[in-house]
Amino acid sequence: MMELTALKGVGPKTLKVLEKLGIDSYNALLTYYPYRFDVIERSNIKLLKQDDHIVIDGVIENVPNVTFFKRKMNRMTFRLNTGENIYNVVIFNRAFLKNNLKIGMRITIIGKYDKIKTTIVASDIKLYPLPPKPLIEPVYHVVSGISSSQLNKIITNALDHMEDIDDYVPEYLVERYHLGDKVTSIKEVHHPHTKETLNRAINYLKYEELFLFMLKMNYLKSKRDQVLGLQRDVKREDVDKFMATLPFKLTPDQLKCVDAIYTDLTTPKRMNRLVQGDVGSGKTIVAVIALYINYLSHYQGALMAPTEILASQHYDNLKNLFANTGIKVEILTGKLKVSEKKAIYKRLLNNEIDILIGTHALFSDDVIYHNLGLVITDEQHRFGVNQRSSLKNKGNTPDILYLSATPIPRTYAIVLYGDMDISSIHTMPSGRKETITLLKKDSEIKDVLDLMYQELKSHHQIYVIAPTIEESDTSDLENVSALKDKMDRAFGKICKSAILHGKMSSKEKEEVMRQYQDNEISILISTTVIEVGVDVKNATMMVIFDSYRFGLSQLHQLRGRVGRNDLQSYCVLISNHEEKRLEILTQTTDGFKVSEEDFKLRGSGDLFGTRQSGDMNFNLANLKQDFNILLRAREDSQEILDNPLFIKGDKYPRLREILDKSVNMS
């Protein structure tokens, strides 16, 4: 395979910039696809209205004039003669183009048309005339140090050396769907000729991505079904006795989950189950019962959380719930002293610990279990494949239970988590009042402050969320620093407030959270760092500024931080943007409905945490837009796996290689 440095235009400096984009190989460069395509074709001036988008070419009539203002900002103006009319062109912060713009030169202008003043406010200038046919220009995500056009030039050089590109789609499927071939598709995506040829190329590349994804998923499921797990001999009545000691009654959905988990743990098939449900729906108690069943069969259990805060909360909860059982629960986190960690390692190996709770510290090579039987990961979409497999391999085929507070519509979950069994908790514990969600504008801030004052008077606590940490020259978004000042001016005389954000050290964050949990702080001003792992039952109000900046599922997760007891709670979304999508949150508190709407609006994105997990990192495919292709790919991949010739033969060696790798990682 060709080295990137062998390509024209790629020196040491450019190589570092490419690495920032995740391009570290020849193959990664070729598959770094554009995120959009600009279709450049001449506008019909007669049909344009005031402020319409315009694309037009013409000849430069005069030497461009540049004026500077504010902080290094500039404005360049010149006249453009199209042959039918003369237009005044205005473009901002492109003074560097002046020397390229010569009188008599024919160029293309893209921008907004001011029909009244015969002016074009340009967003872009192309130093060439419009071709007779529409021009399709690829646009790439880039970073400082490289432009989209520069990246395209480097990729163009790479396209001349495409001998070793693997084509993964079997020939009979290519013929079935008239897909074309991979080499042609890659070339077309980076250098489109027509809309039709581009669409065909994109269709092939999307299908290949989704086909490989579903092939792996279906294969993993078939392999998992063949793996024998730990068959426990536990009487159901012993489990029921423990559940009867709990300080609350389980909901019907929780009981269904327990039934499924009990069956999983007491039969030979290895458990690989996802339990999904809203924040506060009671997933943790289901996990507790699973750990109890595991304990009764004399196996150790591990519970992994994404943050030390959440790990500590789990530790406190489990200590209380198992107080009268004799179960030995311990916590292992990064902040423990070396001597404390070594003592835990020793007790774990000597079978003196029944349940170990922790964060990524559970992955340490020093952590050796005596007989690990059950692994539970909370907020499973936040852990990558390699991390999960690392823990899973600590035991002799331990059973696996994943918990997720990001509910996914069942239709999608069945496909996306096809290698898992899925249990969903829809019902909420009794006694909980539905959180009232209000949508407010900045001009209505007095109403919001009045509502906050009423909650503070009742000695309740409040979360205030901002999209940014600090003030920015390029943004008028609220930030935690400014909101801290505002909250102190409004309520400083009656309560204490504090800031929490991702740039703080772990020690600082833990201290702030301790104070908030102990009610020493009444108002916590934060970024979305509190989205996962905070359970303060006295918090009854969530105020989210610039809420239009967040996805629906993320807002719903934030809302789930309040309403965790029998007190009436409120979530206030502050936004000046007229967005009907935010109204969805005022109409329902059902996370499954919210995620359904979010999926329709945004596709997968943050909904499934794909960028964090690495499980579904697609280059082109979009799980919302391409769901029908995904379903087709699911059937096609299963068709291949059901073919005895595929399993035993060597017709598709590259597919076999991919599947073998996926099994090793699972």
Q: Domain segments of the chain: what residues?
A: 1-36+137-165, 42-132, 236-267+282-404, 436-588
Which residues touch 489 (CB under 8 Å, ≥6 apart)?
Answer: none
Average pLDDT over residues 560-576: 90
- In whole angstroms, give the CA distance from residue 269 to residue 181: 41
- Rounded to the nearest 10°, the torsion over CA 51, 53, 59, 64 is 60
How does 509-533 read in b/e, with b if 16+ C-beta sit within 10 Å?
bbebbeebbeeebbbbbbbbbbbbb
Q: Which residue has the higher pLDDT, 561 or 419?
A: 561
Instruction: Report the percentage of the chain scoring pLDDT > 90.
Output: 52
Q: Return the residue matching tokens 């069956």.
A: 263
What phi and psi, each to the nearest 5 degrees, are found at residue 122? -80, 140
Question: What is each CA distance from 616 to 320, 420, 461, 608, 613, in whole angstroms?
Answer: 38, 15, 38, 9, 7
CATH class of domain segment(s) 1-36+137-165: mainly alpha
Question: Does the structure show a pLDDT above 80 at 430?
Answer: no
Tokens, residue 569? 């709670």
Q: Which of 220-224, 349-353, 549-553, 659-663 has the lowest mean pLDDT?
A: 659-663
Pair type for strands 73-81 and 53-60: antiparallel
Question: Does the structure show a pLDDT above 80 at 395?
Answer: no
How does 408-434 read in b/e, with b if 16+ C-beta sit within 10 Å?
bbeebbebbbbbbbbbbbebbbeebee
Average pLDDT over residues 138-152: 91
Tokens, residue 397? 């085929």
Q: Which residue has the higher pLDDT, 427 or 15?
A: 15
Neighbours of 270 (CB within 10 A): 19
Q: Which among 139, 136, 108, 101 has a CA at the least distance from the CA of 122?
A: 108
- In whole angstroms, give the CA distance from residue 584 to residue 597: 8
First to last CA, the chain: 27
Question: Does the structure show a pLDDT above 70 at 246?
Answer: yes
Q: Is 423 in a helix, a strand, or coil?
A: strand
| pLDDT score of 471 | 54
Question: What is each CA distance from 289 to 239, 355, 391, in whole angstroms?
Answer: 8, 12, 21
**Residue pLDDT, tens place only, 248-290:** 899 999 999 999 999 999 998 889 899 998 877 889 999 999 9
Burial of 97 (0-12, 13-18, 19+ CB in 10 A): middle
- In whole angstroms, give the CA distance from residue 265 to residue 261: 6
CATH class of domain segment(s) 436-588: alpha beta
Tokens, residue 149? 């056009």
Q: Which among 555, 557, 563, 491 has a CA at the least distance from the CA of 524?
A: 491
Q: For 561-617, where are the E strands, in sequence order?
A: 570-574
Could you tell me how far CA 366 lies from the centroid of its own chain? 31
Q: Give the CA count within 13 Å in the CB-facing half-sphere of 666.
A: 22
**Residue pLDDT, tens place only, 501-540:** 878 887 888 888 889 989 999 999 988 766 455 678 899 9
Alpha helices in 118-194 (DSSP H): 148-158, 171-177, 182-190
Burial of 647 (0-12, 13-18, 19+ CB in 10 A): exposed
| pLDDT score of 478 | 72
Which residues touch 59 (CB under 8 Å, ≥6 apart)?
Answer: 80, 81, 83, 104, 105, 106
Positive or negative torsion for Cα 553, 259, 315, 318: positive
Q: Return the residue matching tokens 């709990």.
A: 246
| pLDDT score of 612 | 29
In this chain, the answer to whether the domains covering 1-36+137-165 and 436-588 adopt an identical fold is no
Q: Mean pLDDT of all residues in the chain?
A: 86
CB 641 within 8 A of CB 425: no
| pLDDT score of 469 | 67
- Rounded to the nearest 10°, the torsion over CA 18, 23, 27, 30 is -60
CATH class of domain segment(s) 236-267+282-404: alpha beta
* Local confidence band at 386 (pLDDT 50, 70, 90 cut-offs): low
Q: Which CATH architecture has domain 42-132?
A: Beta Barrel (2.40)
| pLDDT score of 223 | 78
**Residue pLDDT, tens place only, 71-89:** 788 999 999 999 999 999 9
